[in-house]
Amino acid sequence: MATSNKNLSDHSSKNIIDVSGKTFAIIVSEWNEEVTESLYSGAYQTLLDNGAHKENIIRKNVPGSFELTLAAQWMASEADIDAVICLGCVIQGETKHFDFICDAVAHGITNVGLKYNKPVIFGVLTPNNQQQALDRAGGKHGNKGDEAAITAIKMLGF
């Protein structure tokens, strides 16, 4: 598997810019809170490490990952927001609900970025189980929140 030999938090320094003048919205799903809080911590610290100011990092919570899209649209429509980072964790259950949520969120977030012509980052884990989620939220496979923040920074340096 691609991730099994790749730490998600490893990244090149290409297009990494100083983001001291940029404003970020981080939208966090409350479902699987143990995981999403780790994703948020990783994203938040990564933005600070690259020059972002605390007052320029705006956090918003949503009930579940399905709501990330609408919240991303609300934030992306704000002229002073330079990039939006969406963080969630959708864990496979017994039914196809997982598929519908993941598909809707992936397409929805993509469309918001295209609509407002700014980076809207898909920082949503879609694991089969809790352990796979924990492994990617500060565990052995790194932190997808770090990756999402670096992705936002790189896109701003495009």
Ligand X SMILES: Nc1c(NC[C@H](O)[C@H](O)[C@H](O)CO)[nH]c(=O)[nH]c1=O
CB 76 within 8 A of CB 69: no
88 binds ligand X (CB under 6 A): yes
Interacting residue with ligand LTPLIIQW among 28, 90, 153, 156 (CB under 6 A): 90
> Residue 95 binds which entry of ligand LTPLIIQW, ligand X, none, with Cβ cut-offs from 5 to 8 Å by kind?
ligand LTPLIIQW
Nearer to ligand X, 3 or 61 (CB): 61
Residue from 120, 23, 36, 107 nearest 72 by CA:
120
The length of the chain, given as a count of residues: 158
Is residue 97 among the annotated active site residues? Answer: yes
101 binds ligand LTPLIIQW (CB under 6 A): yes
For 53-97, the DSSP string reads: -GGGEEEEEESSGGGHHHHHHHHHTSTT--EEEEEEE----SSTH
126 binds ligand X (CB under 6 A): no
Residues labelled catalytic:
97
